[in-house]
A and B are shown apart, each in its own frame.
Chain A
Amino acid sequence: MNDTWHYVGLLDEIPSLEGRVVKHDRLGDLALFRTSDDQLYAVEDRCPHRGGPLSAGMVHGRMVSCPLHGWRLDLATGEVQGPDHGCVTRYPVRVEENKIYLCLEPDHA
């Protein structure tokens, strides 16, 4: 069921260098981020440190900084940047003609 693409909104609805939330009844909150070169990334909206809402963090390069204690995560790998450790689940996301589609099967690549 999860391997289908869900339409979640338009690219313009995510401001550059910010995040938005997609709520899911079973997976909880997912965060979608838009980088300065208009790449989109989707990860679970929960910092591995103290559960902070990553979607409210600042995006820089391919990174997001958690708003609670500043942990940095690489959005492309889901990995926390050193010296901290941890990772978040990533979800595939794609944009076609300004429309954003999200897949709910975690991306393990």
Chain B
Amino acid sequence: MQESLIVVGNGMAALRTLEELTELAPDRYRITVYGTEPHAGYNRILLSSVLAGEKQLDQIITHPVTWYNERGIELKAGVSVTAIDRKTQRITDSLGNRVPYDKLLLATGSHPVILPLPGHTLPGVLPFRDAIDVERMLAAAQGGGQHAVVIGGGLLGLEAAMGLLKQGMEVTVVHLMGSLMERQLDADAAELLRCELEMRGLRFRLNAESAAILGEQQVTGLRLKSGEILPADLLVMAVGIRPNADLARSAGLVCNRGIVVDDHLSSSDPAIVAVGECVEHRGVVYGLVAPLYAQGKVLARHLAGVESPGCYEGSTVSTRLKVTGVDLCSAGEIHGEKEDEILIFTDPARRVYKKLIVHNERVRGMVLLGDTRDGPWYLELMQRQEPITPIREHILFGNAHLGDAGHGPAGVVHLSDDHEVCGCNGVKKGRILEAISRLGLTSVEEVRTHTKASGSCGSCTGVVEQLLAAALGGDYVSPVAKALCGCTQRTSDEVREAVREGQAMPVRAVMARLGWSTPDGCPACRQAIQYYLTVFHPASHQEERSARFVNERYHANIQKDGTYSVVPRIFGGITAAKELKMLADLVERFAIPEVKFTGGQRLTLLGIRREQLPAIWSELSSHGMVSGHAYGKAVRTVKTCVGSRWCRFGTQDSEALGVELEQKLWNCWTPHKVKLAVSGCPRNCAEATIKDIGVVGVESGWEIHVGGNGGIKVRVTDLLTKVATHEEVQEWSAAFLQLYRREARYLERTATWLDRVGIGFVREQLADPAMRLALASEFQKAHTEIEDPWQAGSKTESARHFAPLAIIGQQTEVAA
């Protein structure tokens, strides 16, 4: 039988929880929602846009009545809950009904604070909290009201004031403190903001305390303690909100400022859970949307009864002022304490102010004014708490200045609609914005699904995030951890840890154990899981062909016309007459259309038909050639210069080391492709410093560099260490690769991985000789346990699967 779930409150936190819940467990509960407001669900954050006349109320409805109907949810709009009887598990509603519940969800939100000034009950005195308040403000402005006074110079007060200004009123903001938004802004930024808003026509009384509201039948003015009287046809109180825990408190639940909940959003009564502005979690009450959504997500998983629902551990929040034309964003620590370092950039002419609070090389807080496009990025840096050392020099200039080739520095807001954001899929800015607003998209994944933008190389993901942030304002929740794919809620890291700790088992069994929503996954998760199994259970994992993309199944690269390219391994890029003759014969015999040198100094045979592949492997194998893995997430090539063997400048024998290194490291699956190079001297002709592992000869030995990339986003390597001998280079390289194999996410290149974990982590791990040796020998073991795929493949029964299953008709062409 269905359990009954009663939800008290119809705001954004309640609705986000129900969205997630009905997705996860559509039939588990019979749900009833009580909402005091006579509306279906709307986006409270956008009320300021309604007040500013930029949107109509019906445009901010997020959950029309049909939404409730489709999910079988009963909505009691305009009905409130007046009491909870916890003993009998029943609530009493404002119509006098007593209704039983199995679970009760309190999402009662918050009350606006009303200052108990004389005259505060006069008509024309309003809070700024819900749709009715906004309707009344609009009526006052449009009904000929001239003067408005807003008490409160915080976020809400300023948004109200700017909205009323846009409606043609003369607006004065009265603020008790000496600077605006003092909880989100430092004094300098607050001063800049005041100037900015004054230029737009707002007036301010700072350090001003209100004494009395004047008027007989209707508000007429506000008298300040200083004696000054401000005329007012409308007075808005926006001095803050306090959690609405009244119902919970009278039912005897533990409450402080809000309803006290644990990391599962459970109150002191296990049958009662709570979410949103009404709760107090670890001593913190949140009033912004992102944390409420994060709470809702966790709560929904608990209510749905999913395996390992996770915990809510608090949020790092950022504030954005939603006033058109005034960009402001702040988060975390804003003043900076003694030990903190403060990075500041100001440009008075452009009215830009950026301040980052840094402690121990990690971002603790930010204040951005005038240019907030890097807000999501800084917030991410704050949440991840990664060291900023490598980017510190440029950090104030923003993410766009970190070498994202091709995706220019101009703020996305200023790009034209015709600007091609995603070069791979040809998606323009206008198309993305259109999809965001028409389909109500809120995440990069959704934009990717519907427009393809950032779906291929991913280098424009940051731009898409910025477009989302710009379009959604405070609604945009920057992604913290993404699920591996649509088949699971788990992140790639979580899956990797589960495989690491678990036993060897088939890919499908891992999916079943981790609660996959699909029986046999999708290409993304099947490959990731198999990869993790090969790394952590190398001896016992049975290779599963069905978890390999075609390239890794056929040991060749599929091309646009459905033919394949084959790259034999040529260790260190050094070949000989006999090998070349054999290859030339092979090319002629199989009528291979093209032979080309690759970027990694190897030969690729292009235009090979699927059914020819086993015969070609067999032929190459019989002449001692093995797979070059040019098709795989694997160790690919070691590029070399001629070094001291030939070069008159060479200091070290890069050819010899290159061959040794490739022999030591080839034939091993890695999270993503791995390219190496060895240069014989610092002239670095093998371009080693943009490789995953780059070795450069110097007079005293070799420098080992790691984490380089010459692709979409060029990244120069970090120096790992300096060693004297070839053996040491091999040991360090193998140990580095094994660390990467164990710790990186599937499909994460060494460059991205290093950006994430920092070179310090890698140096620390590998500095310990015992650890290094252990990693190197673990790598060696994995490497020797795999047979050359061509040798193996041409012998197995599956070789005949490359030929057609059948040929029907008069066709005479037969596979070679």
Q: Are A16 and B546 in contact (CB under 8 A)?
A: yes
Proximity bits, A27-50, B CB within 8 Å = 1, else 0: 001001000110000000000001
Q: Report the minimum CB–CB distance from B782 to chain A (whole Å).
A: 24
- Indicate if the CB atoms of A18 and B801 lie closer than 8 Å: yes
B450 touches A83 (CB 8 A): yes
Instruction: Determine if B520 and A23 form an interchain contact, defined as CB atoms under 8 angstroms apart.
Output: no
Is B550 an interface residue, CB under 8 A from the partner?
yes
Instruction: Point out the residues of chain A lying under 8 angstroms from B523, CB to CB.
Output: 58, 60, 65, 70
Does A88 interact with chain B (Cβ within 8 Å)?
no
Assess whether B808 is in contact with A60, with CB atoms less than 8 Å apart: no
Q: Are A21 and B451 in contact (CB under 8 A)?
A: no
Asked if residues A23 and B807 are in contact (CB atoms below 8 Å), the reply is: yes
CA distance A17 to B549 in the complex (A): 12
Query: A64–B522 Cα gap in the complex (Å)?
Result: 9
Contacts of B520 in A (CB 8 A): 17, 36, 60-61
For the complex formed, measure the closest distance between the CB of B614 and the CB atoms of chain A, giving whole angstroms.
14
Most buried by B among A6, A23, A51, A56: A23
B809 touches A24 (CB 8 A): yes
A73 contacts partner chain B, Cβ-Cβ < 8 Å: no
Query: Which A residues between 65 and 91 are near B, CB-CB below 8 angstroms?
Result: 65, 67-70, 82-83
1/0 contact trace for B696-735 toward A, CB 8 Å? 0000000000000000000000000000000000000000
Is B798 on the interface with A (CB-CB < 8 A)? yes
Please determine whether A25 and B811 come into contact, CB atoms closer than 8 angstroms: yes
Tell me if A107 is interfacial: C-beta within 8 Å of chain B. no
Cα A58 to Cα B554 with chains together (Å): 13
- Judged by a CB distance under 8 angstroms, whether B562 is at the interface is yes
**For the complex, is A22 an interface residue (Cβ under 8 Å from B)?**
yes
- Are B808 and A104 closer than 8 Å at their CB atoms? yes
Residues of B within 8 A of A53 (CB): 558, 562, 610
Q: Which residues of A contact B348 (CB under 8 A)?
A: none
Q: Which residues of A contact B560 (CB under 8 A)?
A: 50, 68
Q: With an 8 A cutoff between CB atoms, is A106 at the interface? A: no
- A94 within 8 A of partner (CB): no
Give the chain A neighbours of B545 by CB distance below 8 A: 15, 18
Given contacts A52-B562, A67-B550, contact A61 B811 (CB under 8 A): no
Assess the B451–A14 pair: CB atoms within 8 A: no
8 Å CB contact of B801 from A15, A37, A67, A69: A15
A9 touches B805 (CB 8 A): yes
Residue numbers in B under 8 Å from A59 (CB-CB): 546
Residues facing A in B516-571 (CB within 8 A) are: 518-523, 526, 545-546, 549-551, 554, 558, 560-562
Please indicate the chain A residues that have their CB under 8 angstroms from the CB of B808 in the complex: 6, 8, 22-25, 102, 104
Q: Which residue of the partner chain, among B452, B508, B526, B551, contacts A83 with CB atoms under 8 Å?
A: B452
Q: Is B143 an interface residue (CB 8 A)?
A: no
- Evaluate contact between A56 and B805: CB separation under 8 angstroms: no
Given contacts A25-B810, A51-B562, contact A32 B546 (CB under 8 A): no
**Are the C-beta atoms of A17 and B451 separated by less than 8 Å?**
no
With contacts A22-B808, A56-B558 known, is A83 near B449, CB below 8 A? yes
Q: In the complex where A17-B546, A50-B560 touch, is A60 in contact with B805 (Cβ < 8 A)?
A: no
Q: Which residues of A contact B546 (CB under 8 A)?
A: 15-18, 58-59
Q: Please give me the residue from chain A that is nearest to B522 by CB atom.
A: A60
Contact B804 A67 (CB under 8 A): no
8 Å CB contact of B798 from A7, A15, A24, A102: A15
The answer to whether B806 has its CB under 8 Å from any CB of chain A is yes
Q: Is there contact, CB below 8 Å, between B519 and A68?
A: no
Expressed in whole angstroms, the Cα–Cα distance for A26 and B550 within the complex equals: 27
Q: Which of B781-816 contact A (CB under 8 A)?
A: 798, 801, 804-811
A59 to B548, CA, bound (A): 11
Q: Are A25 and B809 in contact (CB under 8 A)?
A: yes
Shortest distance from the beta carbon of B144 to any chain A beta carbon, whole Å = 50
Report the minimum CB–CB distance from B524 to chain A (whole Å): 9
A13 within 8 A of B: yes
Q: Interface readout for B446-489 with A: 1 if CB under 8 Å, 0 if not? A: 00011110001000000000000000000000000000000000
Contact A56 B562 (CB under 8 A): yes
Kindly report which residue of chain A lies nearest to residue B809, judged by CB atoms.
Answer: A25
With A and B bound together, what is the CA distance between A18 and B520 in angstroms?
12
A23 touches B811 (CB 8 A): yes
B167 to chain A, nearest CB (A): 40
In the bound complex, residues from chain B placing their C-beta under 8 Å from that of A26 are: 809
Closest Cβ of chain B to A99, distance in Å, is 12
Query: How far, in Å, is B560 (CB) from chain A's closest CB?
Result: 7
* Chain A: minimal CB distance from B435 (Å): 9
Q: For the complex formed, measure the closest distance between the CB of A43 and the CB atoms of chain B, giving whole angstroms.
A: 14
Cβ–Cβ < 8 Å partners of A69 in chain B: 456
Interface centre among A6, A58, A61, A82, by most B CB within 10 Å? A58
* CB–CB B526/A22 < 8 A: no
> How far is B449's CA from A9's CA once the two chains are assembled, in angstroms?
38
Q: Which residues of B contact A14 (CB under 8 A)?
A: 801, 805
| Complex Cα–Cα for A92 and B214 (A) | 83
Beta-carbon nearest neighbor of B611 in chain A: A21
Question: Nearest residue in A to B563 (C-beta to C-beta)?
Answer: A53
**Known A51-B562, A67-B558; contact A57-B805, beta-carbon cutoff 8 A:** no
Q: A32-B805, A60-B522, A83-B452 are in contact. List 4 more A-B contacts (CB 8 A).
A: A16-B546, A21-B805, A61-B518, A68-B560
CB-based closest 6 A-B pairs: A25-B809, A17-B546, A8-B806, A20-B805, A53-B562, A25-B811
Instruction: Return 7 A-B CB contacts under 8 Å, by A number.
Output: A8-B806, A18-B546, A23-B804, A24-B808, A36-B520, A67-B549, A102-B806
